[in-house]
Structure 1
Amino acid sequence: MAINPLHDIAQWRTRKSGIRGIPSVCSAHPLVIEASMLRAMEADSLLLVEATCNQVNQEGGYTGMKPSDFRLFVEKIAKKVFFPLEKLILGGDHLGPNPWKHLPADDAMGRAAAMIEAYAKAGFAKLHLDTSMGCAGEPVALSDEMTAQRAARLASVAERAIEGSQAVLPVYVIGTEVPIPGGAMEELDILEVTSPEAAVETVEIHRKAFRDAGVENAFSRVIAAVVQPGVEFGNHNVIAYAPETAKALSASLARLPGMVFEAHSTDYQTPEALRQLVDDGFAILKVGPGLTFALREALYGLDAIASFLNPSARAQTLMETAEQVMIQKPENWNKYYKGSREELLIQRHFSYSDRIRYYWPQPEMTHSVEELFAFFEGQEIPETLISQYLNGLYPQVRSRKSGNSPKELVLASIQRVLDDYFMACEI
């Protein structure tokens, strides 16, 4: 079997050149994936793309894709932009009972087992085992021992799924202090950083659980633990990384040979904070909503330009279509956003949590974006309007580092965010 390129990630910090960490692109949006591939090619770097348990699972998830479908979807984009498949790593994020936690544990874990089997058979090379949440009738958060036992069960399923195949042996990520997918549900003020003792104990409890389950070999491929370094975002605010508060946690990696930490919810951190996270051993930087937030910013900027140039050209603006769809189908935001009518309007469109990302695959939204792009066919967008409505991209357009077609502007908006991640991971 081929060697998993992430297997020796703990040794990357000793390199004199190359990369010390890796961004983890958690998105199923085709333009986000395309922008990520273009940026990775520019850096001549590996690209890690992860699908979450809610986006992609054996039942289709909210994208309608199973793991094998997601692989074909990503590889199709790679072929279009000439991205080398040997540099593509697919990962599964939050693999566990989360999509079915409203069910009894046996049922939820049975479905989680079927999900991770599908991910493993589809050749996903990085598997994040997340069994930290309680199911129906259980506490919201489980004990470390129960979490580890369930994680080991899922690892056993994944290992059996690839027996006799030529698939790359997967690496695993474990942890019990795991943020929920997509950011916090409440307003945040301060976060408690994982204690060094808790991080080390969690790893040792998982080591024992894997041994008891007969999958010691799988544990030898556990490359990271998810911990809380003190970064998160809510609907309205971002908790910035404070290195001094995570100093002891970072130092605990000396007691965890062959491992790094995986930092979730790093969206909206500054370039300096991202680089410091990598310096401190948080070598896997997860980002998702921050990328679709940049996508939405660019699309709404183009929407405003089109409305200024010809207010009657379209029956509805993209923003009006988005509002209509979200009101008609509120299930992806109404449990997460709170406040007055005006506050809910702002959150639906401009929240850091970016729950509008769940709606881009909807046919009405797809059609509206296509209609917006078609509006600009055969005409050049004036630089002055880019300055007014897409100001962050104006310097790149003026310097000719970016074209000014709608798609080029959207890709450039996403890549501005990706730049911070790739640069943070480079020596």
Structure 2
Amino acid sequence: MTNSRIANIARDRRSGAQLGITSVCTAHPLVIEAALLQGQHEDTDVLIEATCNQVNQEGGYTGMTPADFRRFVGEIAARVGFDTNRLILGGDHLGPNPWKHLPPEEAMSRAAAMVNAYAKAGFTKFHLDTSMGCAGENIALTDEMTAERAAHLAKIADAATDEAGTSPVYVIGTEVPVPGGALESINHLEVTSAEAALKTVDVHRQAFAAAGVSHVFERVVGVVVQPGVEFGNANVVGYDREKARSLSAALSDMPQFIFEAHSTDYQSADALRALVEDGFAILKVGPWLTFALREALYGLDHIAQVLDPTFAEHGLIAAIERLMLSKPDHWQKYYHGNASELRLQRHFSYSDRIRYYWPHAEAEAAVNRLLTMLDGRSIPETLVSQYLGALYPAVLRGQAAPDARSLQLAAVRRVLGLYARACRPTD
């Protein structure tokens, strides 16, 4: 595994190249497969990241440790024939967030154990995020305390990666609102000021020096900032490069760095390209990919019911609705409104909290029923046009086969293709 492409992005930008890389934030096996297939097609490295809540030494909500996640991704790579020398594994928001309800000492001890586990598992990109207060602390910490804790975790990671024989790159800073999308409708965002970005770098540089890891700071390549992009349950705030001009210009005063942009999901192709051109060279995407997969699955569910009207009683959408109502923990705190509004959000929200349900046994059984019903069938082009219209041109051009599995992969790759084109150097 490598991290050379990330390590070289800032250097290449200084020489005039406008390069970027897509950070695929997911644990869904089909989305990971699609990302690896897209990487093969583009002949490029693939960066796949796991978050602190998703994967940690205690299992996270996926039940996977960092070593488990590496094996999981590696097995998919082996199956599709992807060269793992071009695979970059990253850890996102690594810090005390999963344990912030605990006293600071215990939360940071667990965060240190997590970072150690990620490092020993061979991950080579670390986003250190220690900005959140723990029990008894303010919700948000000062820049100095955040940097001090990040330096401590960097020291832990560096010692573990020395043992693993890797030299990871690091990203510092955090973004507002919370990771994964805003909880409500949003109309305006404050872009990170150039002064705040420069201060983040300076404070972290001092903290790393105080911790005796200045040599590790040399491998800090990125800063997470808010360029003014976000999505809520029902709306998306698009990138406005005029509002981010001052922030983008600040990179000239920090030539070691590029910016990492979170929540870039659902941005237009032009906006993604503009982000890369303006130095937001690591583009994180997650919910949009599973949103695209859900669109494909729901379209296939409608197609199945056209091909066999009796399938309606076994339909996927109805099964997922039953599951989400019986186990509301993943959506109930995040969606608001009357019964009709809640149902719409459960299935079609941009935040895509339905993604937490796909690994559930009932959801897997419902998907398997659907795919079994469609197995061996060539889906008529007219039904692709009716229910999966975004994929219709690819089917007509022969770029996607009209079968259920190929259409799912094509739906995810259609989104990844937008990112791939945005991240290419300017001709």
The TM-score normalised by the length of structure 2 is: 0.97
Residue 76 of structure 1 is matched in structure 2 by 75
Question: Could you tell me whether the CA contact under 8 Å between 1:179 and 1:264 is conserved in 2?
Answer: no
Q: In structure 2, what residue type is equivalent to 1:52?
A: T
Within 1, Cα distance between the matches of 2:361 and 2:406? Answer: 22
Shift in CA distance, 374/16, structure 1 to aligned 2, threshold 3 Å: farther
Shift in CA distance, 388/317, structure 1 to aligned 2, threshold 3 Å: same
Question: Could you tell me whether the CA contact under 8 Å between 2:3 and 2:168 is conserved in 1?
Answer: no
Shift in CA distance, 178/169, structure 1 to aligned 2, threshold 3 Å: farther
Q: In structure 1, what residue type is equivalent to 2:61?
A: Y
Deviations 1:169-224 (A, max 9, x none): 11100014354221112221100001101100111001111111111111110000
Deviations 1:135-160 (A, max 9, x none): 22222211111111111111111112
Deviations 1:27-73 (A, max 9, x none): 11011111111111111111000011111111111111110000011
Shift in CA distance, 117/208, structure 1 to aligned 2, threshold 3 Å: same
What is the Cα deviation at residue 417 of structure 1? 0.4
Deviations 1:256-297 (A, max 9, x none): 121100000000000000000000000000000010000000
Equivalent of 1:341 in 339, 342, 348: 339
Residue 49 of structure 2 is matched in structure 1 by 50
Q: Secondary structure at the match of 1:306?
A: helix
Aligned pairs for 1:194-343 (under 5 A) are 194-313=192-311, 315-343=313-341
Q: In structure 2, what residue type is equivalent to 1:407?
A: R
Residue 12 of structure 2 is matched in structure 1 by 12
Q: In structure 1, what residue type is equivalent to 2:58?
A: E
Structure 1 runs not aligned, ≥5 long? none
- Which has the larger displacement, 177-186 or 254-263? 177-186
Aligned pairs for 1:117-132 (under 5 A) are 117-132=116-131
Shift in CA distance, 103/316, structure 1 to aligned 2, threshold 3 Å: farther
Deviations 1:111-139 (A, max 9, x none): 11111111000010000001111122222
Within 2, Cα distance between the matches of 1:78 and 1:345? Answer: 36
Shift in CA distance, 402/177, structure 1 to aligned 2, threshold 3 Å: closer
Q: Secondary structure at the match of 1:381?
A: coil
Within 2, Cα distance between the matches of 1:293 and 1:363? Answer: 20
Within 2, Cα distance between the matches of 1:32 and 1:379? Answer: 22
Structure 2 runs not aligned, ≥5 long? none
Equivalent of 1:388 in 383, 386, 389: 386
Q: Secondary structure at the match of 2:186?
A: coil
What is the Cα deviation at residue 327 of structure 1? 1.3
Question: Could you tell me whether the CA contact under 8 Å between 1:130 and 1:178 is conserved in 2?
Answer: no
What is the Cα deviation at residue 232 of structure 1? 0.5
Question: Could you tell me whether the CA contact under 8 Å between 1:178 and 1:226 is conserved in 2?
Answer: no
Q: Secondary structure at the match of 1:182?
A: coil
- Which has the larger displacement, 126-135 or 377-386? 377-386
- Which has the larger displacement, 214-223 or 179-188? 179-188
Within 2, Cα distance between the matches of 1:313 and 1:343? Answer: 27
Residue 63 of structure 1 is matched in structure 2 by 62
Q: In structure 1, what residue type is equivalent to 2:6?
A: L
Q: Secondary structure at the match of 1:180?
A: coil
Residue 164 of structure 1 is matched in structure 2 by 163
Aligned residues: 425
Within 1, Cα distance between the matches of 2:251 and 2:3? Answer: 23
Shift in CA distance, 196/31, structure 1 to aligned 2, threshold 3 Å: same
Deviations 1:357-400 (A, max 9, x none): 11111111111111111101232211111111101111111111
Q: In structure 1, what residue type is equivalent to 2:84?
A: L
Q: Secondary structure at the match of 2:164?
A: coil
Shift in CA distance, 185/311, structure 1 to aligned 2, threshold 3 Å: same
Residue 143 of structure 1 is matched in structure 2 by 142
Residue 416 of structure 1 is matched in structure 2 by 414
Question: Could you tell me whether the CA contact under 8 Å between 2:120 and 2:163 is conserved in 1?
Answer: no
Within 1, Cα distance between the matches of 2:74 and 2:189? Answer: 38
Residue 93 of structure 1 is matched in structure 2 by 92
Within 1, Cα distance between the matches of 2:226 and 2:3? Answer: 29
Q: In structure 2, what residue type is equivalent to 1:367?
A: A
What is the Cα deviation at residue 312 of structure 1? 2.1
Question: Could you tell me whether the CA contact under 8 Å between 1:147 and 1:176 is conserved in 2?
Answer: no
What is the Cα deviation at residue 346 of structure 1? 0.6
Question: Could you tell me whether the CA contact under 8 Å between 1:183 and 1:353 is conserved in 2?
Answer: yes
RMSD (Å), alpha carbons = 1.6
What is the Cα deviation at residue 15 of structure 1? 6.1
Runs of 4+ deviating beyond 6 Å? none
What is the Cα deviation at residue 315 of structure 1? 4.4
Question: Could you tell me whether the CA contact under 8 Å between 1:127 and 1:173 is conserved in 2?
Answer: yes
What is the Cα deviation at residue 314 of structure 1? 6.4
Q: In structure 2, what residue type is equivalent to 1:399?
A: R
Within 2, Cα distance between the matches of 1:375 and 1:314? Answer: 12
Percent identity over the alignment?
59
What is the Cα deviation at residue 335 of structure 1? 1.1
Shift in CA distance, 141/51, structure 1 to aligned 2, threshold 3 Å: same
Question: Could you tell me whether the CA contact under 8 Å between 1:4 and 1:125 is conserved in 2?
Answer: no
What is the Cα deviation at residue 3 of structure 1? 7.1
Q: In structure 2, what residue type is equivalent to 1:122?
A: A
